[in-house]
Amino acid sequence: MIDTHSHIFADEFDEDREEMLARAFSAGIENVIMPAIEPTTYDKVIDLVEQYEQLYCAIGVHPQNAQSYDERAKSQIRELASHPKVKAIGEIGLDYYYDYCPKDIQVEAFISQIKIAKEYNLPIIVHNREASEDLLSILENEQDGTLKGVLHCFSQDVEFMKKAIELGFLISFTGNITYKSADALREVVREAPIEKIMIETDAPWLAPVPFRGKRNEPSYIIKIAEKIAEIKSITLNEVNIMTTKTAKTFFSLTILLLVLLFPSLSYAQTETIYDDEEIYYEDSVEQSKNPVEKFIGFGPILGINTIVDTYYPDNQDISYDGLFAIGGTIVYGGTFDWVLAQLSLIYSYNKKPTMDTKVHDSLHPLPANEHYFSEFTLNWIPNPHSRVNFYLITGISNITNIFSQYDSASYPLQHRETLNNIGLITGLGFVVNIPVKNAGLFCLNAEWRLNFMLGRSQRNYDPRFSPPDVRYYNPSENSTFYSIPRFGVVWFPPFKEWFN
């Protein structure tokens, strides 16, 4: 068997790469193809293929890294294309699922690398996610009879598979065909001609059942071959012989079909069914680089609170601005990636009553008013897979205001009054997602929230005035809204990584 797509140069293998390769070769893996993803990986990839006879590689710039495809990168690819162990140009293609790189830059880099592949008579290894229409159009335009390639980690439908094969392309399947909810993808496997199929692990990602959630590695490819044999109702021997022959021809490897000793390739594990499985196409970029891996997060909040009171019946607005606000938040994002549920507690205080009353009575100034906000909001994210997100905020709050006032009958006696109100929240936010290896995701956010108190507050004094002004003792009625620009950091720990 040949693992036609495996990123075993990744940092995840640095501690046990030799042992991992020993497991692969003892399991009957003849060769492993390593597609590079950006220029910074080229030296490591070349070092490995020169160190191990069984390893080969492809050189290219992944669409998520297409902004690094400059003249220097192009020159490096051309230089390495003649290396005897470089067998393809890849991993290249289009990825519209994330927006790490603008589409036009991805397209330009993809077309340029296709032309290099044709110039050096090398096949291409193609990445496609959420870009099928544009990708197919480019392949149709560039197919002049000399272009050959493989659509790796194939996750599209039967119709797209047939169009790709008509263009002369192969398709490659990985561990996602073993996932519980992959019925549509298994139908593609069933319909695909066996002679047009290759197999891959895409290690260290997309481990097949029963290893899903763990680091993937080439020795697990047997599980993919077994699943293809099961789906197509053919023998494992047929799958291994045909996919190996196809891979050796495609990558121009020496044709030497070994007698496959299947007992040594079989594993004794019982396949486990995972309740949470999805056909999730995650390849070529380490999972921790995904900026939207958000399950449970928490962090501090700092802000500036502006309070605007509107007094009736004269509709006079009184504002208190520049009030310091501090708090904390818990965020849940485990259900949908396009909406986050957030619970926040905010505290703010207003010293203006103290300053105003101190002018008239320096011995008996009023204490500061205090404001407590318990907020539940939903943050709606139009593009959740970007490193930088704008989002809409909607929600509800409980507002507890503690006011200080003079006793109307016994000045300067004071007492505290607590009012509770419900508020409606709306606002806009901006967040930068920063993944940190082994530490999770840190989200730096800035928001502007408006919190509109429902109803009106009734007080037996008028805070617009201070004693000895007799108007202070008149009852007042007002509505309030709060404008709170705020900043925070939310940390999403990598729970899955820690507990798998």
Q: How confident is the model at residue 460 (pLDDT cuts 50, 70, 90)?
A: confident
Please, are residues 397 and 422 in contact by the beta-carbon 8 Å criterion? yes
Q: Three-state SS for 479? A: strand
Please give the average per-residue pLDDT across 111-136, as a whole number.
96
Rounded distance between C-alpha atoms, residue 95 and residue 77, angstroms? 21
Q: What's the whole-number mean pLDDT along residues 63-75?
A: 95
Within a 10 A sphere around the Cβ of 81, how many other Cβ atoms?
19
187 has pLDDT over 70: yes
Q: What is the pLDDT of residue 271?
A: 34
pLDDT band at residue 412 under the 50/70/90 scheme: low
Domains of the chain: 2-285 (3.20.20.140), 289-499 (2.40.160.20)
288: exposed, middle or buried (C-beta count within 10 Å: 0-12, 13-18, 19+)?
Answer: middle
Q: Place 41 in a pLDDT band, splitting at 50, 70 and 90.
A: very high
Are the CB atoms for 104 and 71 separated by under 8 Å?
no
In order, the DSSP letters of 317-362 are EEEEEEEEEEEEEEEE-SS-TTEEEEEEEEEEEE-HHHHHHHHH-T
Report, in angstroms and rounded to the nearest whole number, the Rg of the chain calculated over CA atoms.
Answer: 31
Q: How far is CA 430 from CA 102, 298, 403, 448, 490, in A?
A: 19, 17, 33, 9, 13
Q: 143: how many CB neighbours lie within 10 A of its CB?
A: 17
Q: How far apart are CA 274 and CA 373, in angstroms?
A: 41
| Cα gap 41→90, rounded to integer Å | 12
pLDDT at 220 over 50: yes
Query: What are 471-490's pLDDT values in tens digits?
Result: 878 889 999 999 999 999 99
Residues 306-326 pLDDT 10s? 999 999 988 888 888 889 999
Average pLDDT over residues 231-258: 85
The predicted pLDDT at position 467 comes to 73
Of the given ranges (201-210, 234-243, 282-291, 395-404), which has the lowest mean pLDDT?
Answer: 282-291
The pTM of this model reads: 0.57
* Kind plus residue range of the DSSP H or E element containing 374: strand 369-380
User: Would you state the pLDDT for residue 106?
Assistant: 96
State the average pLDDT for the chain: 87
Helix (H, G, I), strand (E, B) or coil at 278: coil
pLDDT of 6 above 60: yes
Backbone angles phi, psi at 248, to 5 degrees: -65, -35
For residues 480 and 308, the answer to whether their CB atoms sit within 8 Å is yes
> Is there a contact between 303 and 485 (Cβ–Cβ < 8 Å)?
yes
More confident of the two residues 291 and 453:
453
Q: Six-digit token pair at 251?
A: 């990558």
Q: Which residue has the tokens 């926040």?
A: 344
pLDDT confidence of residue 410: 60
Q: Over pLDDT 70: what percentage of the chain?
A: 88
- Euclidean distance between the first and final Cα of the chain, in Å? 28
Neighbour order of strands in the sheet with 170-173: 2-3, 31-35, 55-59, 86-95, 124-129, 149-151, 170-173, 197-199
Average pLDDT over residues 123-143: 95
Reported as a pLDDT band with limits 50, 70 and 90, residue 336 is confident
Q: Given this model, what pLDDT does residue 413 score?
A: 60
- Residue 458's alpha-carbon distances to 54, 285, 400, 417, 477, in angstroms, are 81, 58, 14, 11, 5
d(CA 167, CA 164): 5
**Using one digit for the tens of pLDDT, what is the confidence trace for 288-306?**
344 446 889 999 999 999 9
Q: What is the pLDDT of residue 239?
A: 96
User: At residue 419, does pLDDT exceed 80?
Assistant: yes
Per-residue pLDDT at 276: 37
pLDDT band at 345 (very low <50, low <70, confident <90, very high): very high
Do residues 2 and 150 touch, judged by C-beta distance below 8 A? no
Closest residue by Cα to residue 265 from 29, 487, 5, 460: 29
Tokens matching residue 411: 């000045």
pLDDT band at 285 (very low <50, low <70, confident <90, very high): very low
